[in-house]
């Protein structure tokens, strides 16, 4: 028996010396993914990488409403919708579920009227007919963390969209409303917006709001 074992050992050494040693199957199992991604496979049956890419991330102002424009690219997952989570560092998050992989969503705290116009802005409140800073959405300005979940997920930081002469993302101040209006200028744009917001906040709707806005414009032009 010992001679037989020696012979087998010698044969193995001889094969190894000429590069003909038999291959030994590895006992180490393939690594198991640590995430819960629903992976697709390639033509050979191997799992594809699972990742989410934020292709577009643009804060915008639309009809005085602060919004986030986004587009998500998904690799290795069959997910077709995204959950968008606005992360509150000290309270409850705001979650928009089952959104399309590209589109726009309003900033948390923004209130949009039936015609798509802005009625309220995050970080502001109306007191005694005047807008003052401070409300339960202070945490979304000047920037906020947003997480996109498709399975996998991606987390980004976005800045609150700034105002422009054509679109405002915060309520007009009283001193701006009292400033002389210049045709086509910033003061006139803000004055019209302020009149509309003030009327809406007071409960006036429809033609009443439009008539009051026309009165404001007429008085400014006559003056």
pLDDT value at position 13? Answer: 45
Per-residue pLDDT at 44: 84
Most confident of 2-11, 76-85, 86-95: 86-95
Q: Between 69 and 218, whose confidence is greater?
A: 69
Task: Decide which of 19 and 127 is more confident.
Answer: 127
pLDDT surpassing 60 at residue 9 = no
- Chain segment 91-126, per-residue pLDDT in tens: 999 999 999 999 999 999 999 999 999 999 999 999
Q: Mean of the per-residue pLDDT values for the chain?
A: 72
The domain spans of the chain are 33-161, 172-223
Contacts 24+ apart (CB under 8 A), 197-204: 197/118, 197/119, 197/171, 197/172, 198/129, 200/113, 200/117, 200/119, 201/119, 201/126, 201/129, 202/129
Query: What is the spatial order of strands in the sheet that 94-100 belongs to?
Result: 94-100, 81-87, 143-149, 153-159
Classify residue 157 as exposed, middle or buried by CB count within 10 Å of its CB (0-12, 13-18, 19+).
exposed
**Residues in contact with 185: Cβ distance below 8 Å, sequence separation at least 6, in sequence order:** 165
Residue that wins the pLDDT comparison between 194 and 129 = 129
Q: Which residue has the higher pLDDT, 189 or 70?
A: 70
pLDDT confidence of residue 5: 40
Comparison of pLDDT for 23 and 79, the residue scoring more:
79
Q: What is the pLDDT of residues 124-134, one digit of tens each?
A: 999 998 999 99
Which pLDDT belongs to residue 38?
A: 66
Cα gap 201→138, rounded to integer Å:
20
Higher pLDDT, 33 or 154: 154
Length of the chain: 223
**Which pLDDT score, from 0 to 100, does residue 123 have?**
95
Q: Is the pLDDT score of 14 beyond 50?
A: no
Specify the pLDDT at position 76.
77
């Amino acid at each position: 028996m010992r001679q037989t074992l020696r012979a087998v050992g010698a044969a193995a050494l001889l094969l190894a010396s000429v590069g003909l040693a038999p291959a030994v199957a590895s006992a180490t199992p393939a690594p198991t993914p640590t995430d819960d991604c629903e992976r697709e496979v390639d033509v050979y049956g191997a799992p594809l990488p699972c990742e989410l890419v934020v292709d577009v991330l643009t804060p915008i102002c639309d009809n005085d409403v602060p919004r986030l424009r986004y587009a998500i690219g998904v690799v290795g997952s069959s997910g077709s919708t995204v959950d968008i989570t606005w992360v509150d560092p000290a309270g409850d998050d705001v979650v928009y579920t089952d959104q399309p992989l590209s589109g726009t969503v309003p900033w948390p705290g923004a209130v949009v009227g039936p015609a798509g116009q802005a009625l309220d802005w995050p970080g502001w409140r109306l007191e005694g007919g005047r807008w003052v800073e401070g409300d339960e959405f202070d945490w979304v300005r000047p920037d906020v963390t947003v997480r996109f979940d498709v399975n996998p997920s991606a987390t980004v930081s976005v800045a609150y969209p700034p105002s422009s002469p054509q679109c405002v993302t915060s309520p007009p101040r009283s001193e701006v409303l009292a400033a002389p209006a210049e045709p086509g200028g910033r003061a006139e744009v803000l004055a019209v917006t302020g009149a509309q917001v003030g009327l809406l906040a007071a409960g006036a709707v429809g033609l009443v709001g439009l008539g009051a806005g026309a009165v404001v414009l007429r008085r400014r032009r006559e003056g």
